[in-house]
């Protein structure tokens, strides 16, 4: 979630010889995990003061007062920075920061990315360049974690960290005097969890802590979660009802894509085309019950969660005037992802301290060691093992609930592009969702938590879906701007909204034409929204060839030679070039693998072929003008 517009909390500029600051920018949690590992290893090595903090919680004007800072930065989408980095980055770009602003400042950068993307680790690379420009000195070269590595990002993090500690130790021996403790940690000394859980019996729970309002219950559970406390979700904006659940692909297709319609029967929903709907999915109650039983917890007791060192004798902090006590089972169900997310490497290390069976302890210690890293990645991430599955596989482990709360991945919202226009559907939102399932290397079938839950809901049943509107990365176009839209598969979702909106606008005002390139495997099995597109391509429709628009489909598997949207773009190069020359905006949406790079290359080829030398840098100019936008997942 993007940080609020208010300034970050001011922090004093501290010049501490033994202080190490680790700043992270994370979108899904991986960068936060990597940053916390940096902090743990620094503390093991004897660093006297370590602070691990999200970039949106740190005042960048304090950077010159620090001496050693490690940046851990993930890259999202097509080279985008995480939301938590954006305000920090804007500050670093201020023109009055000179080339000596960070003189005497030493830093290191580790990036988390995926080399399958065109702009691999782009966010980390740009912050590395900018900090260097401001006069700082790198401790070590930038480290680039790659999701494509057999061990994931940790394949690069392990050697990079070792190099970092050696360089820091040489530069300032007083900062990290015991580098051997980092390399060979004492696995008999765990320390304490960072949080306290305070328990109350149901009899002790005051009446105002028993909440029946589902919105307030969700807000309460997530506001006291240590992993979610800075997300500031607030209560859901809407509790929507499923009114349409329609399969778009043929029953015989190996892909299940659904059209969902969610409704607020009492009021209009405030959204724009290009926005995304964030949904908090429900976990299977049987999985929540199994987790609680496996961990020997009392589901009906009430709990409060506080940072270590808080006043345990207080009556409970408040959330919007309400005490923050909540039933344990409710907290697990709404804030802890026990049955879909895989635990992190540190989870296995902590488990090893609480294993009483020797063979389990040895296996867990091996998984937590550098030698066991690759095997852990195959066992855990590649197999998409859940927290519940891992705990059940190591039955001798009795991990205290404090550690489980701290280390279990949080239950995250899922975002879906909205595929309807508010001009046509004031109190409804349409979604186009692929129901996710896959086979692991060991041939175990896994299912996406949110999409599978939505697919299982029947229209008009009483279950309400917690929802938030989130500003998307595709800005709504002005009606007078011509559009070139490229959206294969479920990438068509936001463009269904664009076209629906432009059709509604055309009734009352002059609108520019639209060129849309869609792609799927087969015309008979997965031609999503076929009638919708063809209807708008007829006569005076917004996709009509007569009106200067067009609708072109690539059926990739209906002929021996594969045909994709980029091939259709080249076939229609004259139309595409004419649209670009008339001031068109280009929008691309869909899979984040090869498609965006292939589409960009096809557009560049059209520009070169039709525009010659004068068209050099055309797409970059479009991008700078806000007229070339990509949204991928």
Binding positions for FMN: 26-31, 74-77, 147
Q: Are 102 and 65 in contact (CB under 8 A)?
A: no
Binding-site residue ranges: 26-31, 74-77, 147, 414-417, 448-451, 490, 556-557, 562-566, 598, 633
Distance, in Å, from the CA atom of 34 to the CA atom of 70, rounded to the nearest integer, reads: 11
Q: Are 320 and 206 in contact (CB under 8 A)?
A: no
Distance, in Å, from the CA atom of 380 to the CA atom of 390, rounded to the nearest integer, reads: 8
H or E, element range at 69: strand 68-74
Binding-site residue ranges for FAD: 414-417, 448-451, 633
Pairing outcome for strands 106-113 and 628-632: unpaired
Place of tokens 């292939």: 598
C-alpha to C-alpha distances, 224 to 230, 281, 410, 449, 598, nearest whole angstrom: 10, 19, 12, 23, 44
DSSP state of 37: H
Binding-site residue ranges for NADP(+): 490, 556-557, 562-566, 598
Q: Which of 305, 316, 493 is nearest to 415 (CA)?
A: 493
Distance, in Å, from the CA atom of 583 to the CA atom of 64, rounded to the nearest integer, reads: 44
Distance, in Å, from the CA atom of 601 to the CA atom of 552, rounded to the nearest integer, reads: 18
Which residues, in sequence order, are CB contacts of 294 under 8 Å at separation 6+?
Answer: 388, 391, 392
| DSSP alpha helix (H) spans, 336-411 | 345-354, 358-368, 373-379, 387-393, 401-407
């Amino acid at each position: 979630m993007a940080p609020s517009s208010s300034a970050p909390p001011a922090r004093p500029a501290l010049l501490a010889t033994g202080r190490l600051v680790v700043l992270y920018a994370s979108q899904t949690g991986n960068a936060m995990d990597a940053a916390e590992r940096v902090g743990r290893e620094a503390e093991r090595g004897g660093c006297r003061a370590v602070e691990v903090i999200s970039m949106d919680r740190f005042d960048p004007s304090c950077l010159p007062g620090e001496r050693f800072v490690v940046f851990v930065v993930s890259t999202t989408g097509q080279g985008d920075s995480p939301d938590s980095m954006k305000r920090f980055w804007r500050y670093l770009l201020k023109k009055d920061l000179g080339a000596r602003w960070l003189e005497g400042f030493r830093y290191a950068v580790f990036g988390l990315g995926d080399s399958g993307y065109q702009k691999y680790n782009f966010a980390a690379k740009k912050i590395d360049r900018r900090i260097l420009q401001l006069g700082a000195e790198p401790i070590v070269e930038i480290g680039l974690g790659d999701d494509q590595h057999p061990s994931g990002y940790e394949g690069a993090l392990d050697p990079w960290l070792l190099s970092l500690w050696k360089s820091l130790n040489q530069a300032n021996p007083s900062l990290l005097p015991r580098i051997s403790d980092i390399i060979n940690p004492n696995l008999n000394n765990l320390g304490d969890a960072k949080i306290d859980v305070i328990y109350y019996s149901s009899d002790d729970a005051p009446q105002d802590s028993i909440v029946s309002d589902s919105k307030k219950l969700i807000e309460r559970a997530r506001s006291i979660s240590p992993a979610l406390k800075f997300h500031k979700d607030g209560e859901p904006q809407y509790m929507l009802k499923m009114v349409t659940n329609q399969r778009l692909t043929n029953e015989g297709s190996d892909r299940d894509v659904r059209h969902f319609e969610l409704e607020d029967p009492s009021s209009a929903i405030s959204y724009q085309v290009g926005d995304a709907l964030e949904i908090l999915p429900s976990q299977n109650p049987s999985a929540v019950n199994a987790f609680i039983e496996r961990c020997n917890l009392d589901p009906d007791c009430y709990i409060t969660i506080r940072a270590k060192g808080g006043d345990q004798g207080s009556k409970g902090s408040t959330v919007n005037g309400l005490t923050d006590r909540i039933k344990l089972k409710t907290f697990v169900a709404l804030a802890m992802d026990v049955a879909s997310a895989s635990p992190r490497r540190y989870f296995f290390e902590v488990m090893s301290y609480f294993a009483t069976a020797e063979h389990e302890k040895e296996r867990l210690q091996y998984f937590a060691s550098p030698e066991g890293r690759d095997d852990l990645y195959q066992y855990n991430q590649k197999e998409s093992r859940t927290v519940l599955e891992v705990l059940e596989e190591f039955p001798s482990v009795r991990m205290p609930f404090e550690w489980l709360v701290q280390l279990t991945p949080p239950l995250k919202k899922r975002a879906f592009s909205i595929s309807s226009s508010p001009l046509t559907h004031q109190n409804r939102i349409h979604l186009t969702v692929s129901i996710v399932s896959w086979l692991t290397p060991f041939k175990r079938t896994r299912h996406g938590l949110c999409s599978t839950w939505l697919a299982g809901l029947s229209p008009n049943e009483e279950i309400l879906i917690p929802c938030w509107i989130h500003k998307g990365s595709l800005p709504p176009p002005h009606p007078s701007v011509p559009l070139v839209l490229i959206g294969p598969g479920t990438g068509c979702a936001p463009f269904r909204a664009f076209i629906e909106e432009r059709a509604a606008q055309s009734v009352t005002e002059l609108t520019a034409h639209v060129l849309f390139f869609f792609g799927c495997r087969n015309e008979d099995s997965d031609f999503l929204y076929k009638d919708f597109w063809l209807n708008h391509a007829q006569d005076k429709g917004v996709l009509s060839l007569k009106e200067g628009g067009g609708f072109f489909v690539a059926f990739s598997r209906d002929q021996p030679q594969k045909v994709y949207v980029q091939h259709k773009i080249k076939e229609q190069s004259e139309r595409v070039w004419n649209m670009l020359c008339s001031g068109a905006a280009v929008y691309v949406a869909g899979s984040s693998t090869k498609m965006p790079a292939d589409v960009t290359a096809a557009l560049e080829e059209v520009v070169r072929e039709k525009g010659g030398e004068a068209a050099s840098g055309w797409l970059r100019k479009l991008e700078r003008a806000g007229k070339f936008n990509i949204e991928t997942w």
